[in-house]
Structure 1
Amino acid sequence: MAKKNDNSYDASEIKVLEGLEAVRKRPGMYIGTTSSAGLHHLVWEIVDNSVDEAMAGFCTKIKVTVHPDNSVTVEDNGRGIPVAKHPQKKISTLEVVLTILHAGGKFDNQAYKVSGGLHGVGVSVVNALSKKMVVQVKRDGGIYEMQFARGKTTEKLKELGKTKTTGTTITFWPDDTIFETTVYDYDTLHDRLQETAFLNKNLKIILTDERELTPRVDEFCYSGGIIDFVKYLNGWNGQKYEKEVLPGLSKPIYIEGKSDPDAPFSQMGEVEVALQWNTTYSEHTLSFANDIYTEEGGMHLEGFRTALTKAVNDYGKRQNIIKEKDPNLTGDDIREGLTAVVSVKLPDPQFEGQTKAKLGSSYMRTLTNRIVSQGMAEYLEEHPNQAKEILKKASQAAKGRLAAQKARQATRRKGLLESASLPGKLADCSVRDPEMTELFIVEGDSAGGSAKMARDRSIQAVLPLRGKILNVERVQEHRALSSDTITSLITAIGTGVDQEFDINKARYHKIVIMTDADVDGAHIRILLLTFFYRYMKPMIEAGYVYVAQPPLYQLKPKGKKHGKYIYTDEELAVEAKKFEDSTKYTVQRYKGLGEMDPEQLWSTTMEPKNRILLQVTIDDAMAAERAVSDLMGTQVEKRKDFIQTHAKDVRFLDI
């Protein structure tokens, strides 16, 4: 008998994964990751189904409950998943939906005209990745229940009783053999569900966390929909805004419209836009398609921006505010200080990429453009005082843009001049491969001196900052780019900023913010993170930005040169009995990096094998914007409270 060749490839090599086995084998293909983000994605898939019921007009309330064992229940008062025997599969339709991929009511546009969960994979994927799932359906006068485990049916459909109400209740236990963690983060759930409530006017969403001694409950319901969303993003607390809005614009501009009634079904859609300007210098526009956050925008966002730019320029020309000889305002000029939400609903959205980050349905660009053009033109004509304020703000932005161009040119010239030597006080490393190199940003010459002596000179560079970095949240770009500290930072990193930003020119793939573990250090850290968020966000998105975690204390036995390094007050409390005996132990509190000798700084904070580095990520656009604007805006108390609360105990950081 001939021996099988090791390189052979025949029919016997092809493995067929039955049912939901494929999901369990490659979960990342369906939920992106098995980390915390993937864990929370399970909740979004179930909630999205309930929201689809709401968008179809059949659901008014959704309850999400996290139980003490980190199982989750999602309950809605929609129509309930059908339980009758499926005509093709000859089993309960409920079982079909829960155990077969691409089985749902979202493919023929009959059950759902508009849907966020597009592919019919959501609930079955959650089932596949749960060690247990219990589904109850109230429908057709009865209460029905089925149970599943890891994608397979464990208890067939049974009727529990009678009811006059309808709805679906799903409880699931994430499979701890699949996920890196099965502990849900309340803030992540809170922010996403609040966002969902904003996007669905009058939909009540109740979030309950039973893991605390006294369960925490938050209820979201917004009669103003995305108008309330924009007000929230600008910091409205019921009485005043945290961000100063332009005069006369205390109520956001709201525009809505839909496609012509006689348009083909595939070309139908609805558009909602709410917008409001504030006195800051950055734009914050969020776009959604069928409640899905389109992080990279797409056709609806293009249509909105084009219409807004044209409407403001046309009005300015008609009113002679923009003179005949003057150039038009750019879109960036007009959107400086703008907070906006663009939400569209359409029957068959086409997204670019698996992540649904960009809407590709081209007709939505035309529809959004038409509706926003008409709505903005009417608003500006009917509100001349507000229109003048908008144009005044945009004209100031145009002047700032021209000044920023000059500042960027100066920064580029400075970078070219300094490229032959070291920019600022940078102590560079010898290796030139950015994938292998690290830049430590430290405060002051004292810490800089210790870091330069401690580092691995081949792969670690050190840049000491001269004084506190400018708060870029509160100044225009040209002011920021005129700062020596910021230009040195930009030159050292090598990417440039704004239109000239090129991540491929990054000289290091690890930028480590290394500040003292005290209130001042926390302040500098926030200032630096604000700079990266506003001017080099792709660096954060690429995973290049980190925060170092130096120790707070050293618990040292008497007579010994070195002891145990302690990074939090909680950890110190665990060691309390030891250091209470002052005859045997001493506790040293590190007020700054400069207090450590180079050997200590290396072994605790810079040495790759022992150090703790926190990767800075951007997980949620709404939370990110509020974090940066709250902390670095004009509200001093918010910033002070945050710094004092988190200066010593930050253990992970999502911006």
Structure 2
Amino acid sequence: EVIGDTDKTGTITHFVPDPEIFKETTVYDYDLLSNRVRELAFLTKGVNITIEDKREGQERKNEYHYEGGIKSYVEYLNRSKEVVHEEPIYIEGEKDGITVEVALQYNDSYTSNIYSFTNNINTYEGGTHEAGFKTGLTRVINDYARRKGIFKENDPNLSGDDVREGLTAIISIKHPDPQFEGQTKTKLGNSEARTITDTLFSSALETFLLENPDSARKIVEKGLMAARARMAAKKARELTRRKSALEISNLPGKLADCSSKDPSISELYIVEGDSAGGSAKQGRDRHFQAILPLRGKILNVEKARLDKILSNNEVRSMITAHGTGIGED
């Protein structure tokens, strides 16, 4: 039934949570909802989305609009980080009815942040589209480095972890018939999504690297630094492989070890300089107290990479003396 004229269109949906079903809470978390609305605005470039809280005493309103889409999303995620290349890499393509969008940018951190979406659903467990992206990224960067002579003939390829260190990436695909693993829709299972994502992304990334040699070299060098750190971590594990917790062989030369082999009572005192080490040795109980003299102010390990840390003799002495492993090892 026509009841009049209007220049407004749209749909209004009312939702009231049932406390019999939502046991934990029926109170809306504005910040949580606002973050999701912002995410949707990034994923749907050019769209205006407004969220408003009209609850008494909590009134607030946010409007989100991003012309850059997921490219702006990557810039937002990297806003407080030092980036390796100024402009995020943006790739878009379509094949067999499946649209693929990828945006990525490297920063100076040592971790990766990869977020994947299917039809704007956050597939935080990954899936075939994310696997295709990772495969393509590793292959293209290694191929580029070899073609340009950055790798020597006998140099091993960078691993997937190497090329993803410091990476922030958004993968967003639109699929007409998505198949998810499980009921929560957090992992995509379509096999064709892997092939199509890999193909479209790899081709565009290869073109970008060839057309932007400065950015390409920075990306490869970032991966090489990660590879060196990985090899240093391997050496760290070798440093700490001792037959028992208090084995004497391979211990640092300046360590005055204790005679006890019981780690529950043994103590290690680290002192600054050989003179302090001599005094400490005179006052210790040889049965359970060990002394390790070290040079002072050796290295700020908070700001150094693992490969540089492990090249320091004083640090190596501590690792070997402790015999407990380092980092995740």
TM-score, normalised by the number of residues in structure 1 = 0.39
- The 2-side partners of 1:416 and 1:189 are apart by 53
Matches within 5 A, 1:226-625: 226-235=70-79, 242-246=80-84, 249-259=85-95, 263=96, 268-411=97-240, 413=241, 417=245, 421=263, 476=305, 497=328
Q: Percent of aligned positions with the same letter in both sequences? A: 48
3-state secondary structure, aligned to 1:172: coil
Alignment CA distance shift 1:176-1:323 (3 Å): same
8 Å contact from structure 1 (residues 256, 271) kept in 2:
yes
- Paired residue for 1:208, among 52, 74, 93? 52
CA distance in 1, matches of 2:304, 2:47: 39
Post-superposition CA distance 1:106-155 (Å, at most 9, x none): xxxxxxxxxxxxxxxxxxxxxxxxxxxxxxxxxx856xxxxxxxxxxxxx
Relative to structure 1, the CA distance from residue 360 to residue 210 in structure 2 (aligned partners, 3 Å threshold; closer, same or farther) is same
Question: Cα gap change, 1:389/1:211 in structure 2, threshold over 3 Å: closer, same or farther?
Answer: same
TM-aligned CA distance change 1:474 to 1:195, over 3 Å: farther
Q: Which has the higher contact order (CA 8 A, sep 6+)?
A: 2
Counterparts of 1:203 and 1:219 in 2: how far apart (Å)?
10
SS in 1 for 2:91: strand
1:52 maps to none
CA contact (8 A) 2:237 2:325 kept: no
Kindly indicate whether the alpha-carbon contact (under 8 Å) linking 2:136 and 2:199 is maintained by their aligned counterparts in 1.
Answer: yes
CA distance in 2, matches of 1:187, 1:296: 23
Of residues 32, 44, 56, the one that matches 1:188 is 32
Please tell me the residue identity of whatever aligns with 2:82: E
CA contact (8 A) 1:334 1:394 kept: yes
3-state SS of 1:174 partner: coil
Native 8 Å contact 1:349 1:359 kept in 2: yes
Q: CA deviation at 1:472?
A: 9.2
Cα distance in 1, alignment partners of residues 65 and 243 from structure 2: 52
1:174 aligned partner? 17
Distance 1:491 1:182 in 2: 47
Gaps of 5+ in 2: 247-261, 268-299
Q: Distance in 2 between matches of 1:234 and 1:283?
A: 11
Secondary structure of 1:403's match?
helix
Q: Deviation at 1:173? A: 2.2
> Does the C-alpha gap of structure 1 residues 312 and 169 become closer, same or farther in structure 2, counting only changes over 3 Å?
same
Cα distance in structure 1, aligned partners of 2:162 and 2:90:
21
Partners of 1:328 and 1:271 in 2: CA distance: 27
Once residues 183 and 473 of structure 1 are traced to their aligned partners in structure 2, the CA distance between those partners, rounded to angstroms, is 42
Aligned to 1:168, the other structure's residue is in SS state coil
Contact 1:290/1:344, CA 8 A, preserved across alignment? yes
> How far 1:177 sits from its partner (Å)?
3.5
Q: CA deviation at 1:221?
A: 0.8
Contact map agreement 1:276 1:338 (CA 8 A) in 2:
yes
Is the 1:281–1:474 contact (alpha carbons within 8 Å) kept by the matching residues of 2? no
Provide the C-alpha distance between the structure 1 equivalents of 2:143 and 2:184, rounded to a whole number of angstroms. Answer: 37
Q: Is the 8 A contact 1:141 1:164 kept in 2?
A: no
CA RMSD of aligned residues (A): 3.3
Measured in 2, the distance between the counterparts of 1:219 and 1:480 equals 46
**Equivalent-residue separation in structure 1 for 2:228 and 2:90 (angstroms):** 28
Structure-2 change in CA distance of 1:422 and 1:277 (3 Å): farther
2:292 corresponds to: none
Cα distance, 1:253 vs. partner? Answer: 0.4
Q: Equivalent residues in 2 for 1:44-59 (5 A)?
A: none
Contact 1:276 1:340 in 2 (8 A): yes
Residue 332 of structure 1: CA displacement?
1.1
Number of residue pairs matched by the alignment: 276
| Deviation for aligned residue 1:320 | 0.4
Letter in 2 for 1:273: V
Going from structure 1 to structure 2, the CA distance change for 1:475 and 1:359 (only over 3 Å counts) comes to farther
Q: 1:297 to 1:478 in 2, by over 3 A?
A: farther
1:409: how far off? 4.0
Q: 2-side partners of 1:387 and 1:319: how far apart?
A: 10
Taking the aligned partners of 1:344 and 1:141, their CA distance within structure 2 comes to 40
Does the aligned pair in 2 maintain the 1:415–1:423 contact within 8 Å? no
Kindly indicate whether the alpha-carbon contact (under 8 Å) linking 2:106 and 2:166 is maintained by their aligned counterparts in 1. yes
Q: Is the 8 A contact 1:281 1:475 kept in 2?
A: no
